Each structure stands twice: as structure tokens, then as C-alpha cells.
Structure 1
Amino acid sequence: MNNKNKNKDDNWKVFFALFFVIFVDVIGLCIVFPIIAPLVYDVHSSLLPAGLSLTAKNWIYALLLALWPLCLFFSAPILGDLSDKFGRKKVLLSCLFGEAIAYSIGAAAISMQSLSLMVISRIIAGIFAGSQPIAQAAIADISTVENKTRNMSKIVLATTLGVVLGPLIGGFTANSHLFSFFSYATPFQVATVIALLNAILLLVTFKETHIVQHKLKVKWMKSIRLFTDAFKSEKIRVISFIFFLIMISWSIYFQGLAFFLIKEYAFNTSKIGFFYGLIGIASAMTLTFGMNLLAKKIKQEPILFLLGLIAMIICGILSSFSTAIYLQCIAAVLGAFGVAITYTLSLSFYSNSVGEGKQGWIMGISGSLSGAGWAITALAIGPMSGIRDNLSFVTMLISAVACTIILLFSMKKIQRKIDS
């Protein structure tokens, strides 16, 4: 009995550490969104040389946004293979220390007014941000058949908490009007401390959950193969097109939002952080309560998926063609609601399309498409910003409409796969 309780206690400690790993990863992504746009466009920011043209600023903004998901796209599958080869704990600790180094370099970049250091920070942060899928794999390692679904649902909770708190931390701790010692460097300093505390927690509580496979060969170009597999396989081609368009639609809205809020409403970092926090709260509420309630009312998952797409389309319309800030808030909530539904159901459609032996492969594909989508749209935001402030929102709308058309033509086919 004592051994059983001890195992439960040990598993709880391990689970908490892994939960925190995922939480820190998402904070690392979201903490910078309220900061990067002001760093580039604020006339009082000293990161860029004075007198730099708006076109140059637009491209620098796009580069700083794109480096994180682009590096993650290539590194995540490699880190996954390394965790199979050398064990979860060693790779997770490497990721956390790597993230701490990245954040500290980001803080130094601002203090030293060095754009090149900021670029290095974003590259390192992206390379080591692949710890989330490793943490998910470790959670699966320690889960039983009875509690696996419940444990996996808590991964979503960790993600949504990061989405809520990341922008708020970034926005408020960068605002020197709240406290004189706050600056654009403060969010990076906070993130550094969080990553280091997480590493210490993992070092103390985490026991290896995976039998290492030293002979396993690491596939260095695995991300490219996973991306092409998404469209080669007839089984998942339609779902892949739909999922990729959803990632394009949401990522270009989410990443273009800070630029728009500064240009249209002269938002400071606190207000930008609050706006992103609103999106996080809407996502959390949808995932925690909304999905379950809607699933009870709407039995056919493609219909529920369509509802999510309609919400994203309305978000695109309101954000593209309205100037009232309250309508922008409504658009953000609807967009968060829509992407929470469509993202979750997309993973379900993927999982139902393949057998048990290919679940790792199919989740790798979803991660590859997601990373590619975020990187592509981040690079596109630069030239788009120079044409029109809200062009990213118009692109979101077009992508969501295209996704809806594909879904309507393939709905019966998707439903047959679910039923089978």
C-alpha cells in the first residue's frame, strides 16, 4: 500500500514538472508578442538605429517573429529523436537551459541596444522550444490507460494558461509607467528565471520515463519529410490542407495583431498584453467548458468544425472592416473560440485517419504543418504591413473562407472516417 502511494506521489511530482515545462514553452512564445512590435516601431526604443525606414522596420519585425517558429519547425522532430535515443530528462533539461540562455541574451540585447543579439536570442529560443512534444511523450510514458485522457487534457490547460499569462507578463512587465525599473528587458529576465526554476524542479523531481535507444538513428531532415508526407498520403491530404489553412489563418491574425493595435489605436505594451490575454482567456474557456457543452448538442464533429470556421470568418470580417475597439475585442474572442474548436477537432480527425501504430507519425505531421504555417505568415507580415495595416486580417478571412469551402466539399468523406 505504501509503495502504491509512493508511486502515485512520485508520478504527481513528475507530472507537475512536465506540466510546468509545457507552460514555460508557451509563455516563451507568447511573452514576446506584446513586446516585439513596440521594440521595432516605438520611437523611444533604442534597439534599431534612428532614422531607419518603415520598410526596413517591417522586415525586421517579420524576421523577429519568424525565427522562433522557423527554428522550431526544424528542431522539434530532431529533439524528439534525441529524447528517444538519450532519454527524456537529458533533452528536457537541455531545452530548459537553452531557453534560459535565449531569454537572458534577449534581455542583454535590449540593454546593449543590439539587434544582432536579439536575432541570436530568437534563434536559440526556437531551437530549444521543442521541449513541449517531449514533455507530452513523457506524460504518456507515466500515464495508465485509465488516466491517459485526463492527463492529456491537462496539457491543453498548461497551454492555455501560458497563452493567458504570457502576454500579460510580457505586456505589464515591459511598461515602465507601472514601475520605474520595468523595461522591455524585464519580460525576458522573468522568463529566464521561470526557465531556470523549471529546470531545477525537473532535475529534482523527474525520474526517467523512457527506455533509451542508443542505437536509434537521428533523422536530421525529419521535419521536411513530415511536411511533405502530409500532402502525399491520400488518407490525410484533405485534412492536411484544412489544418494548414487554419494555421495560416490564425497565425497571421495572431502575429499581425500587435502591429495593428499600435498603428490603429496607439496601444502600449500593457494594453497589447491585455488584448492577447483576452484571446487566451477565450481559448481557455472554450477548451475547458465550451467544447464539452457543444459536443453534447452537436453530435457530428464536421458540423462542430464548421461552427468553429464560421466564428473565424466573422472574426476576419470584424477585424478587417471595423474600427471600433469593442468590435475588435469581439472579433478576438470569436477567433479564439473558432481556432480552439478547429484545432482540437483537426487533431481528432488526424488521429482517426490512421491506426494506433502511426499516432506518433501523425502528431509529428500536425506539428510540422503548424510550425511551417506560423513561420510563413510571420515572414509575410513584413511586406503586408507596408501595404495596409489590416492586410493580415484580410488574409485571415480569405484563408478561413477557403478552408470552409474545402470542408463543405469533403464533409461526408471526413464523417465516414470518423464513423469507421
Structure 2
Amino acid sequence: MKTALLIASACLLGLLSTTGASLPYPILPPLFAGGSGNPANDLTGFLGLPPKLLFGIALMVNPLGLLIGSAMLGPISDRLGRRRVLLATSIGAAAGHALTAAALVAGSYPLFLLARFATGLLEGNGSIMRAMLAERLSGPLRNHALSWLNGAFHLGWLVGPLLAGFTVGAGISVPFYIAAGALLLGAGMAAVALEREYVTPRAGSWWTVARQGHSLTLLRHAPLRTLFVVHFAYACGVASFYEFFPLWLVDIGSYDTRQIAFVNMGMCALMTFAALFAGRASPVEPRRRASGHAAIAAIAILAVGLGNLWVGLAAIVLFGLPHAYYNATLQGWSADQFAMHGQGAVMGLLSTTFCLANIVMALAGGILTLVDTRLVLIVGGLLAAWAAFAMRRWSARAVTATVAVTMEAK
């Protein structure tokens, strides 16, 4: 397969997948927290629970599906082939978007949760895309390709809210039907572009492979446990930011769906632009670089939680810059450092960690918002700051150990 076609196909599916996942973010806050303008119904007043609590649960179920999908789909694709699993999950995710639209029209909260969970489960195929690039490319090109794929994911976080902002006026279900159609089109184009693979038959069913070889089995190795803990703390900070800055905009600035989409557009545009260059080589040890990027991201998150509307708006947009560099640095280093464990499993572990963080922060945030939405962002910023500190210490210990071994050898 030509390298350019491989990269383009992965980026296209990554863009369309994230576009669908990001659609609800500007739609749900005004729906669940819009005050008297949106009277409670079966969707926003399910079982008489507080709308903000229902909002937190609605945010949680999609990452819960992503968590399971990210952990299982990579190993399954090792057995059945990247192309086959990638296309099947993309078509299934499109069906999930259509079911989400139907749930919104019917005003059914349980059906909405089911649809978001199933869609997240199938959109856990991002680890397959990263594994395709990591195992078929090498050196600087691999780092650039992973960064470009991150850029496609970031761009989806721009396109999805924009699509929601400009089409929700035609009906709350319209954005989801558009996303479903676009994902089907992308899957069709990828089916033509990606070459069929020869997969060596392996013992055991796909369920056995998924159950016994999922990404979390890597936590048996001490360095990967350290990576998980540090990255999880940072991912919790990012999840608190992603999931609750739209609600913060509603609470602090009374923003509607279109205004939230415009703010998100600025952040994701900067993030996407930064991802084009974030894969460049650097003489600085990768974990030390990631530490610096995480620290700047933590400052941005805290600025939203502690600042006024205008300070928060600036911080939301600028957050995209350090986050893009952090992702590119950590993924490239992980692909080089832990390749012996299988790229699908390693990339799946990073994706699973982020999904787990989204679930934890959605649950915690749903409770904290009952007091004050800013508390979620402050807690998230502190977690990201701790991750920056821990990553820097990890880098320092590794450098010290390397120097000691070199001196002993001499």
C-alpha cells in the first residue's frame, strides 16, 4: 500500500469518527441546563432526576463504550485484520448515530444512553488507526503520521460542534443523521483505498482474544503501569476540560449551542494547526517535553476554572496548543519504547486510559456541578499539574539511571 494512501485513509476515518463523537457537546448543555427555556421532558427530566446529573451520565456512557472498544478492538484486529475490523466498526458507528437521532426525536433518555454507548464502543477503533500507522511506518515519518492522525481527530472536534451549531436549527436529530451519512461515505472510500490483508489464522475465538489479550493486560509491566498512572491523571484534567467547559459557558456566559460551537472552533483550529508540526524531532528527552506541555495545559484548565468569562475564553482556545504537542510527544515515544508489546495493544492502552478518565470525570463532574461547575475544572487542572510533575520526575530518574549505567560501563 502506498504510504500516502495509508495515512490519508486513517486520517479520513479519524476525522469522521471524532466528528460524530463531538456532536453532542454543544447540543446537550443548553438542552439539560438551559433553564426555563427548556422545560423538563422524558429526556431531560428522566425519573425526576436533576437535569445536570442526567447531563453528567449522558457524557459518561459514550466514553464507557470507548473504554471497552479501545481495550478490545486492537487485539481483535490483530486476529481478524485491521481493514476488516476498521470498516465493520465504522459502519456500526454510523448506525449508532442514526439511533441517537431516533432517541432524541422520541425523547427517550434510556434509548439515548444505549445509542451513545454503542457508538462509543465502535468508535474505539481509533487504536486500530494508530496501530496501522505505528506498525507500517518507522522513524520520523511515523511520528509525523501519528501527529497528523491526531490532527484529524482534533479537527473532528472542530467540525462536529460546527456541524451541530449550524444544523441543529433544522431539528435536533439532523446533525446526527448527517454524521451517520458522512461516516458511511468515509467507510466506503476507505474500503476502496485500503488493501486487503492476509491474516495468519490464530487459535481461539475473537472473544477469547479480546478477553485475554485486551490492552489492560499490559499493566503487568512496571513501566507501562507508570505510564498509565501519569497519563491517566493528565487525561482526567483534559476530560474535565472537554466535558465541562461547554457547561461553564452556559453557566457563566449564558451561551447557546452556536456560541459554544464557535468557541470550540477556535480551540480545535489551533489544536489542528499545532498537530501539523508537533511530530518534529527534538533533542529534549520526550517525557521531559511532555511534562512541559502538560504543565501549560494545566495552567489553561485552571484559568478557566478560576478566571472570568474573557480569561476563560482565551484559556479555552489556547489550551489546544500544548495538548496537541503533548499527544504527539507521548504517542511517538510510546510507539518507540514499547513496540515489543504490539502497537495495537500499546495504542489501545493510551486510548483506554483516556476513555477511563472521561468516565471518571463525567461521574465526578456530574456531582460537582451540583455545587459549582468551576469545581470540576479546578480539580481537573490540579490533576494535570500533578501529571506534569510526575512525568518530569520519571524523566529525571530515567536520565540519571542512563548516566549511571554509562559511567559503570566506562
Q: In which range does the TM-score fall when normalised by the shorter chain?
A: 0.7 to 0.9
CA contact (8 A) 2:9 2:190 kept: yes
1:61 CA drift (Å): 0.9
- 1:102–1:53 CA distance, 2 compared to 1 (3 A): closer
Q: Deviations over 1:331-386 (max 9, x none)?
A: 11342223223333333443454354554443332222111111111122211110
1:154 CA drift (Å): 3.0
**Residue in 1 that maps onto 2:297:** 312
CA contact (8 A) 2:65 2:124 kept: no
1:243 CA drift (Å): 0.8
CA contact (8 A) 2:279 2:328 kept: no
CA contact (8 A) 2:93 2:119 kept: yes
Task: Tell me which of 215, 220, 228 is aligned to 1:240.
Answer: 228
- 1:96–1:248 CA distance, 2 compared to 1 (3 A): same
Matched residue SS, 1:289: coil
- 1:51–1:401 CA distance, 2 compared to 1 (3 A): closer
> How far apart, CA to CA, are the structure 2 residues paired with 1:418 and 1:340?
28
CA contact (8 A) 2:266 2:317 kept: yes
CA contact (8 A) 1:352 1:418 kept: no
Number of equivalences? 400
**Residue in 1 that maps onto 2:28:** 36
1:125 CA drift (Å): 0.4
CA contact (8 A) 2:298 2:385 kept: yes
- 1:141–1:349 CA distance, 2 compared to 1 (3 A): closer
Deviates more, 1:268-277 or 1:128-137: 128-137
Gaps of 5+ in 1: 1-6, 177-181
CA contact (8 A) 1:349 1:414 kept: no
User: Is 2:70 the counterpart of 1:86?
Assistant: no
**Residue in 2 that maps onto 1:221:** 211
RMSD: 3.0
**Residue in 2 that maps onto 1:56:** 50
> How far apart, CA to CA, are the structure 2 residues paired with 1:358 and 1:52?
44
Matched residue SS, 1:63: helix
1:28 CA drift (Å): 2.0
> How far apart, CA to CA, are the structure 2 residues paired with 1:167 and 1:418?
46
> How far apart, CA to CA, are the structure 2 residues paired with 1:408 and 1:82?
35
User: Is 2:362 the counterpart of 1:378?
Assistant: yes
> How far apart, CA to CA, are the structure 1 residues paired with 2:246 and 2:312?
12
CA contact (8 A) 1:352 1:417 kept: no
Deviates more, 1:396-405 or 1:232-241: 232-241
> How far apart, CA to CA, are the structure 1 residues paired with 2:307 and 2:47?
28
User: Is 2:388 the counterpart of 1:394?
Assistant: no
- 1:401–1:156 CA distance, 2 compared to 1 (3 A): closer
CA contact (8 A) 1:142 1:209 kept: no
Q: Deviations over 1:309-348 (max 9, x none)?
A: 33123213321222232x1122113422232233333334
Q: Deviations over 1:164-201 (max 9, x none)?
A: 21221122222x2xxxxx22212101101101112222
- 1:59–1:270 CA distance, 2 compared to 1 (3 A): same
> How far apart, CA to CA, are the structure 2 residues paired with 1:226 and 1:150?
24
CA contact (8 A) 1:86 1:214 kept: no
Q: Deviations over 1:56-93 (max 9, x none)?
A: 21221112111111112112333223323333333222
- 1:94–1:308 CA distance, 2 compared to 1 (3 A): same
Identity among equivalent pairs (%): 19
Task: Tell me which of 379, 383, 390 is aligned to 1:406.
Answer: 390
Gaps of 5+ in 2: 406-410
TM-score, scaled to structure 2: 0.86
Matched residue SS, 1:213: coil
**Residue in 2 that maps onto 1:250:** 238
CA contact (8 A) 1:39 1:45 kept: no
1:55 CA drift (Å): 5.4
- 1:409–1:145 CA distance, 2 compared to 1 (3 A): closer
User: Is 2:14 the counterpart of 1:22?
Assistant: yes
Task: Tell me which of 158, 168, 173 is aligned to 2:162.
Answer: 168
Query: Which residues in structure 2 correspond to 1:7-406 (within 5 Å)?
Result: 8=2, 13=5, 15-42=7-34, 43-44=37-38, 48=42, 56-139=50-133, 143=137, 148-174=142-168, 176=169, 182-218=170-206, 219-221=209-211, 226-227=215-216, 229-230=218-219, 232-289=220-277, 292=280, 299-325=284-310, 327-354=311-338, 356-406=340-390
> How far apart, CA to CA, are the structure 2 residues paired with 1:171 and 1:417?
52
Deviates more, 1:267-276 or 1:12-21: 12-21
TM-score, scaled to structure 1: 0.84
Corresponding letter in the other structure for 2:92: G
- 1:386–1:412 CA distance, 2 compared to 1 (3 A): same
